[in-house]
Amino acid sequence: MANSTHSDESPMPLEKLQRFMPNWLKRFLPSGGGRAHDHHGKSMFGFTVFLLSESIVFLSFFVTYIALRLTSPQWLPPGVKGPDLSTAVIINSVVLVSSSFVIQAAEGALKRRQMKKFRWLWFTTSAMGVFFLVGEVKEWLGLDFGLSTGQVGGTFYLLTGFHGLHVFTGILLQIIMLVRSFIPGNYNKGDFGVSASTLFWHFVDVIWVILFSLVYLWRA
Amino acid sequence: MRKILNSLLLAAFIAVILFASRWVGQQAYSWMPPQATAEAKQVDEIFSFLASIGTFIFLGITGIITYSILTCRAPKGDWSHGHPARGSAKLEILWTVVPTILVLWLSVKSFNIYEQINIQGLTPVVHLHMEEPANAAVTSNDSKPVGEVIEVFAKQWAWSFRYAGNVSTTELHLVVNEPVSLALHAQDVLHGFYVPEFRLKQDIVPNRTITINLKPNRLGKYRLHDSQFSGTYFALMEANVYVESRQAYNQWLAVAASRQPTIASNQASAEHTQPKTIFNSRWHTFEPAEPSVVNYSA
Amino acid sequence: MTNNSREGIARAGESENSQSSQTGWREYLSFSTDHKVIGIQYMVTTFIFFLIGGLLAMIIRGELITPQSDVVDRPLYNGLFTMHGTIMIFLWIIPFNAGLANYLIPLMIGARDMAFPVLNAIAFWMIPPGGLLLLSSFLLRDGTAQAGWWSYPPISIQNPSGHLLNGEFFWIVSLVIIGISSIMGGVNFITTIFWMRAPGMTFFRMPIFVWAVLSSQLLQLFCLPSLTGALILLFFDLTLGTHFFNPTQNGSPILYQHLFWFYSHPAVYVMVLPVFGIFSEILPAFSRNPLFGYRSVAIATIGLAVISSLVWAHHMFASATPGWMRVLFMFTSMLAAVPTGIKEFAWTATVWRGRLHLLTPMLFALGGAVMFLFAGITGVMLGSTPFDLHVNNTYFVVGHFHYVVYNTITMGIFAGIYFWFPKITGRMYAEGWGKIHFWLTFIGANLTFFPMHPLGLQGMLRRVSSYAPEYQWWNVVASLGSFLLGMSTLPFIANIVGSLLRGPKASDNPWHATGLEWKTSSPPPKENFAEIPVVTEPPYHYNDSEDFRPEAATQE
Ligand code: HEA
Ligand code: HEA
Ligand code: CUA
Ligand SMILES: [Cu+2]
């Protein structure tokens, strides 16, 4: 028998590999066990996994969009202009994407416990999110096609609507965190809520970049 | 001494299961309906081959387990340990590599047969792609002669067929030993073209024409079934298929062409108006589509 | 154990009564966050769904005794198999596995609970409403969903009733609810396995069951969203007037098939991997041998998860699938035999030259492993495109997968229930009744599902309530077998209920098995371990004779 001794060393020495990993990745491979007390790391890990899973739903919608668009003999029904890359949409997108930097700065401020700055930046992020949503609703109201207009209508409202729902959720999370920041001692046990909302917001923005390229930049 | 005995036993065991696998492989042909196309023969060959390999693996492993069950029992309440082996790199590599080779072999063989069937006609659906408008006509793009084209129409829940000269019927007639192309159309939902004796199956998608080519080679009457679930009366969506000589075919076609178009009867409509089961749910269901108007119906 | 004290402090507030090990029955009806309570909630709930799904199968088999459609009318028959398949997959096997894993994973890795106890409870409490919603569609005037468990459009969006609240509507909503529950479960399991392991419990010291849950939950997390996406699109088509899958409006029904199978093929491994895990715990314990080739089995488990997410189009060989796709997916499908083979061989080698105890869990495990061999071989046959084109959508396929879902998975689940019954309840089940249950099940299952193979080869289609008379003989055998199979659950229920109430007290480790779950009391105390254990030995430590005995064994 080649190895009848008990060798419990892994053939892929995960523990040893960890040394060569960047910090953020290392966090996700607690290989030796005995990390149950790291509540922040654990929660962030769980939330990241959830977002990865969530992104597959978006992926399935993107795939649907691409497949339908490639196979439809006529993407835009006669008389329909389709989603328009107007200045409003561009401004909207710029606001949303730049809010990612604002929220990052807010999280940084919290780490340094600069509460005033944190609340101010955090609030700005939410305001930018609201601006985006309002802009999107305005755009919806001005369009010349509906949900059941060819494939363009269905996919457009589905993609932007599902994304909008996420923006809305993100704003809700931010408001909750903002209110909670006034509770004394709220951050004694760590600031998982803030880190998670920030990550979520980045996620929403990345999705928007993809969505924007697919829906507005892809010209027939 | 013991060692020799063991080896002998092992050899005998392998011989027995080899023999059994071969036998199963031969029997496998008789588990299928008669072969009515050139393609059927090859499908049966790959099945026979798979059945013998499968039997060998199944009997080999169950044999070893049965042997252990029969000979390696611990006395009741004796929980002492068995052998200390935690593994064996040699064995583990062996049983990774051998099945890999085996499945590669199986896939290559299946692939070859798939290709041969292709040569004889089963066109792969080449035009899933974007360039092509979904409602284009026959998508067969090979240059070799594919024989006569018969159009097959499926709707909830009836078949109809259209032959050259715009003759329409509710029976499918094919000429023995002549290649034929079937252009499959569906009106409402997915359906499937399946004649067990032909060993071919193809789903039919509305707004898209899929063509299959085949060559029947056995005279007789067969049954065409809808093979993709299509709703309430799915089970009743059948049609007769006749494989006959050129003369008989021509004769029949002439008779069919001479008849006036009439409304075909169909089983689904009949049952829809007169259900007869012990328990009736009274769940409302889709009405069968309008009966086809055909020149010839049985 | 440096972290131990901190753990203790952090949790002291949460559990006042961690001393008392008894859980009152009321707790099982409450929003408990204890993983053991939740595990049992899952298992009991899903077993009830199994009985319901089984009852539907009995009606199906009753209808199929005769070639005519004479017991139930066709819309109802279509509703029956749709609901049977849906219930069995989404409300029996998948959530049962989640329940068993819930109970065992923290114990096996030496944790006090799952990583997110509240999330865990929420995930469970989505199952009963989801299931009841699905069942309630039987009460709708025009009945349940009738498009099969695949719910392929356009048939699924035809909506014969014409009402907004139709069976298909209920079906979609309930599946989305159950799906969200599974995603929450997935997040929880993955985090628990990555973060909550006791000191010294490295990845390659985890029992195979833990590896299996890890792999199957990864599949849940990364494949299931594709089904959720497909269901949302289907819902839009059904109720909001979009045409994503409507072929007459340039929608693509084939696209739905891809999205559906991208999850639903991996789903079969979500179902079977934990059962492979159960086999890998039971076979060593009752052969008194270490699991042969532990590491290759662990890697094969992860490998299977990877391969199984690359084979989905083998369910679409006869769809409008282009030739290259048929060939590509034929290769990948067959490749799945390699890692699965590694497991089968490892089990065989584990049993070989062992000291076998043929008690009920072992009988079920051996029976299940052998039946899986059969199922796997017919699976590889189906993987061969030219052959599949003959048997696709026939009873050959139905036979293939019932050999897995019943003869392997349900048998494996029974094995697991018997095996951990003493741990979970602190009482022993009745061995004699267990054996009777095994033999009735084993014979009944083969009588029911074997005849489906010849039927399929001869061309009998699935999803039909009437068929050509020449198929009757095998159908009668299958139906009679299925009634036997149905009856076989009765001794099981009697045994479990009876033993729960008055079975003899079980010791902490009645099977002298290794693994952390056997090192705590039966049933385990509220937070599992008095002190978090430190792991110093490899898993399946059955081999060493003198120098190192598993603690549990020396206790007796
Ligand atoms: C639940 C569990 C489960 C499991 C584990 C499997 C395992 C496999 N299945 Fe199965 N399958 C289903 C459940 C499952 N299946 C269901 C539910 C359906 C139908 C759904 C529906 O239509 O409603 C289905 C349908 C299905 C089809 C589609 C048929 C059709 O509709 O036309 C195919 C085709 O390729 C297939 C193939 C396989 C293969 C190749 C495996 C392999 O993973 C098997 C591998 C295992 C072994 C091969 C045995 C052990 C290996 C060895 C001992 C090594 C040596 C062996 C060889 C070299 C052969 N399955
Ligand atoms: C995943 C798990 C699973 C399980 C465990 C089962 C278990 C069983 N299945 Fe199921 N089956 C599916 C999943 C499963 N099935 C799926 C996915 C389909 C495809 C659906 C589709 O096409 O869309 C299907 C389809 C299917 C068909 C094909 C229907 C058709 O295509 O027309 C048949 C036919 O015989 C069948 C039979 C059975 C039987 C007899 C059992 C038995 O094992 C059940 C045994 C259990 C019990 C009997 C319950 C306990 C007993 C009682 C409640 C007491 C009452 C007993 C008596 C009165 C005797 N099943
Ligand atoms: Cu008719 Cu499918
Ligand atoms: Cu599959």
- Identify which of B228, B53, B64, B263 has the alpha carbon closest to the alpha carbon of residue B156: B228
In this prediction, residue C2 has a pLDDT band, given cuts at 50, 70 and 90, of: very low
The amino acid present at A76, given as its one-letter code, is L
Return the residue in C76, C257, C390, C466 with the most chain B beta carbons within 10 A, the one to mutate for interface testing: C390
Given this model, what pLDDT does residue A12 score? 53
Residue of B61, B196, B235 with shortest CB distance to C464: B235
What percentage of chain C has pLDDT greater than the value 70? Answer: 94
Q: Does C326 share its domain with C386?
A: yes
C544 domain residue, yes or no: no
* Together in a domain, C234 and C329: no
Q: Which pair of tokens denotes residue C426?
A: 């602190």
C neighbours by CB contacts (3+ pairs under 8 Å) = A, B
Q: A50-59, B220-229, C123-132, C241-250: which has the minimum mean pLDDT?
A: C241-250
Nearest C-alpha neighbor of C342 from the set A96, B91, A73 = B91
Within 10 A of B135 (CB to CB), how many other CB atoms are there? 13
Least confident range from A186-200, C61-75, C205-219, C467-481: namely: A186-200
Please tell me which residue of chain A has the smallest CA distance to B90: A2
Rg (CA), chain A: 22
Which stretch of C101-110, C374-383, C480-489, C534-543 has the lowest confidence by average pLDDT? C534-543
* CA C86 / ligand 1 centre spacing (Å): 19
| Alpha carbon distance, N-terminus to C-terminus of chain C | 26
- CB atoms C296 and B92 under 8 Å: yes
Question: Strand order of the sheet with strand B167-169?
Answer: B167-169, B158-163, B148-155, B180-186, B210-214
Q: What is the mean pLDDT of residues A160-182?
A: 94
What is the C382 CA–ligand 1 centroid distance (Å)?
7
Check C356 against B50: CB less than 8 A apart: no
Among A178-192, B233-247, C15-29, top mean pLDDT goes to B233-247
Reported as a pLDDT band with limits 50, 70 and 90, residue A6 is: very low
pLDDT surpassing 70 at residue C20: no
Confidence of residue C389 (pLDDT cuts 50, 70, 90): very high
Tokens encoding C312: 């989905």
Tell whether C316 and C462 lie within a shared domain. Answer: yes
Residue where the block lists tokens 């799945």:
C336
Upstream peptide bond of C518 is cis (omega within 30 degrees of 0):
no
Report whether pLDDT(B199) > 50: yes
Token digits for A105?
């700065």
- Ligand 2 centroid, distance to C81 Cα (angstroms): 8
Domain co-membership, C428 together with C294: yes
Interface of C with A in 224-283 (CB under 8 A): 224-226, 228-230, 232-233, 236, 240-244, 249-252, 255, 259, 262
Give yes or no: residues C413 and C444 share one domain. Answer: yes
Q: Which two tokens stand for residue C20?
A: 């008392």
Q: Which domain holds residue C160?
A: 32-246
Task: Give the residue from A53, A157, A199 with the most C CB atoms within 10 Å of its CB, the best one to mutate.
Answer: A53
Residue A39 φ/ψ, nearest 5 degrees: -70, -40
Q: Specify the DSSP class assigned to residue A129.
A: H
Q: What is the mean pLDDT of residues B282-288?
A: 83
List chain C residues with CB under 8 Å of B43. Answer: 386-387, 389-390
Helix A39-71 vs helix C167-195: angle between axes, to the nearest 10 degrees?
140
Burial of residue A32 (number of CB atoms within 10 Å: 0-12, 13-18, 19+): middle
Give C104 or B180, the one with higher predicted confidence: C104
Judged against a pLDDT cut of 80, whether residue C21 lies above it is answered with no
pLDDT single digits (tens) C99-137: 999 999 999 999 999 999 999 999 999 999 999 999 999
Give the three-class secondary structure for C72: strand
The conformation of residue C244, written as its DSSP 8-state character, comes to T
Residues of chain C with C-beta less than 8 angstroms from the C-beta of A190: none
The overall average pLDDT reported for chain C is 90
Ligand 2 neighbour C60 (Cβ under 6 A): yes
A90 vs B289, which has greater pLDDT? Answer: A90
Q: Does residue B137 have a pLDDT over 60?
A: no
The residue to mutate among C59, C81, C263, having the most atoms of ligand 2 within 8 angstroms of its beta carbon, is: C81
CA angle, residues C106, C110, C112, in degrees to nearest 5: 60
Residue numbers in A near B88 (CB within 8 A) = 1-3
Residue B77, by phi and psi: left (phi above 0), alpha (psi -120 to 50) or beta? left
How does DSSP assign chain B, residue by residue? -HHHHHHHHHHHHHHHHHHHHHHHHHHGGGGSPPP-BHHHHHHHHHHHHHHHHHHHHHHHHHHHHHHHHHH-BPPTT-----------HHHHHHHHHHHHHHHHHHHHHHHHHHHHHHHTT-------STTS-TT-S------S---EEEEEEEETTEEEEEETTTEEESSEEEETTS-EEEEEEESSS-EEEEEGGGTEEEEE-TT--EEEEE-B-S-EEEEEEE-S--STTGGG-EEEEEEE-HHHHHHHHHHHHHSPPEEPP-HHHHHHHS---SB------PPPPPPPEESB--
Of B125, B281, B286, the CB nearest to C73: B281
Q: Does residue C121 share a domain with residue C58?
A: yes
Other beta carbons within 10 angstroms of residue B10's beta carbon come to 10
**More confidently predicted of B292 and B60:** B60
Q: Map residue C53 onto helix, strand or coil.
A: helix
| Least confident range of B80-89, B102-111, C63-72, C84-93 | B80-89
CATH class (in words) of the domain with range A80-217: mainly alpha
What pLDDT score does B282 carry? Answer: 81
pLDDT of residue B118: 65
Beta carbons of A68 and C251 less than 8 Å apart:
yes
Ligand 2 close to Cβ of residue C405 (< 6 A): yes
CATH number, domain at C475?
1.20.210.10
For the CA of B53, the nearest ligand? 1
pLDDT, mean of residues B31-55: 92
The verdict on C144 and C293 lying in the same domain is no
**Does the CB of A4 have a partner CB in chain B at under 8 Å?**
yes
User: What's residue B141's pLDDT?
Assistant: 43
Using pLDDT thresholds of 50, 70 and 90, give the confidence band for residue A184: confident
Q: Which of B74-83, B132-141, C469-478 has the highest mean pLDDT?
A: C469-478
pLDDT value of residue C22: 55
Is residue C251 domain-resident? no
* pLDDT at A8 > cutoff 50: no
C26 touches chain B (CB under 8 A): no
Question: Closest partner residue to B207 among C152, C248, C538, by Cβ?
Answer: C248
Mutate to test the interface with C, among B114, B115, B197 (most CBs of C within 10 A): B114
Find the residue in B nearest to A67 (Cα).
Answer: B130
More confident residue, C20 or C217: C217
Q: How far is CA B193 from the centre of its chain?
A: 10
pLDDT tier at A188, thresholds 50, 70, 90? confident
**Average pLDDT over chain B, rounded to whole?**
84
**Per mean pLDDT, which range of A164-173, B53-62, C158-167, C399-408 is the poorest?**
C158-167
Q: Which pLDDT score is estimated for B88? A: 83
- Asked if residue C20 belongs to a domain, the reply is no
Chain B residue numbers with beta carbons less than 8 Å from the beta carbon of C146 are 231-232, 283
Q: Name the band, by pLDDT with cuts 50, 70 and 90, for residue C13.
A: very low
Task: Look up residue A215 and give its DSSP letter.
Answer: I
Q: How does pLDDT run across C400-443, given as a tens digit for each residue?
A: 999 999 999 999 999 999 999 999 999 999 999 999 999 999 99
Q: Does an H or E element contain C277, and which?
A: helix C253-287
Distance from CA of B139 to the nearest CA of C (A): 12
Structural domain boundaries of chain A? Answer: 80-217
Return the pLDDT at A63.
95
Of C524, C519, C500, C455, residue with least CA distance to C61: C455
**Residue C445 CA, closest ligand 2 atom number:** 43
B18 lines ligand 1 (CB under 6 A): no
Chain C nearest C-alpha distance from B29 (Å): 10
Report the distance separating Cα C273 and Cα B233, nearest Å. Answer: 37
Q: What is the pTM of this model?
A: 0.92
Inside any domain, residue C549: no
Provide CB contacts within 8 A for C193, sequence distance 6+. Answer: C105, C109, C206, C210, C213, C214
The mean per-residue pLDDT over the stretch C336-346 comes to: 95
Band of pLDDT at residue C162, cut at 50, 70 and 90 = confident
Of A161-165, B39-43, C143-147, the one with minimum mean pLDDT is B39-43
Q: pLDDT higher for C343 or B38? A: C343
Q: Does ligand 3 come within 6 angstroms of the Cβ of B256?
A: no
- Quote the pLDDT of residue C23: 62
pLDDT band at A16 (very low <50, low <70, confident <90, very high): low
Q: How far is residue A199's CA from residue A195's CA, in Å, rounded to a whole number?
A: 6
Return mean pLDDT, chain A. Answer: 86
Say which ligand is closest to the CA of B225. Answer: 3
- What tens digit of pLDDT does each residue of C458-496 get? 999 999 999 999 999 999 999 999 999 999 999 999 999
Quick one: C269 and C242 in the same domain? no
**Cβ–Cβ pairs < 8 A, chains A and B:** 24
Taking residues A35-42, report their average pLDDT.
81
User: How deeply is A26 buried, as exposed, middle or buried, from its count of CB atoms within 10 A (0-12, 13-18, 19+)?
Assistant: middle
Percent of chain C clearing pLDDT 90 (strictly above): 80
pLDDT over threshold 70, residue C183: yes
Asked if B157 contacts B237 with a C-beta cutoff of 8 angstroms, the reply is yes
Counting the structural domains of chain C, the total is 2
Mean pLDDT of C527-549: 76
Contacts by residues A186-193 (CB-CB < 8 Å, ≥ 24 positions apart): A187/A110, A187/A113, A189/A39, A190/A39, A190/A40, A191/A110, A191/A111, A192/A39, A192/A40, A192/A43, A192/A44
State which of C246, C277, C301 marks the end of a domain: C246
Give the DSSP letter of residue C517.
G
Determine the residue type at A135. Answer: G
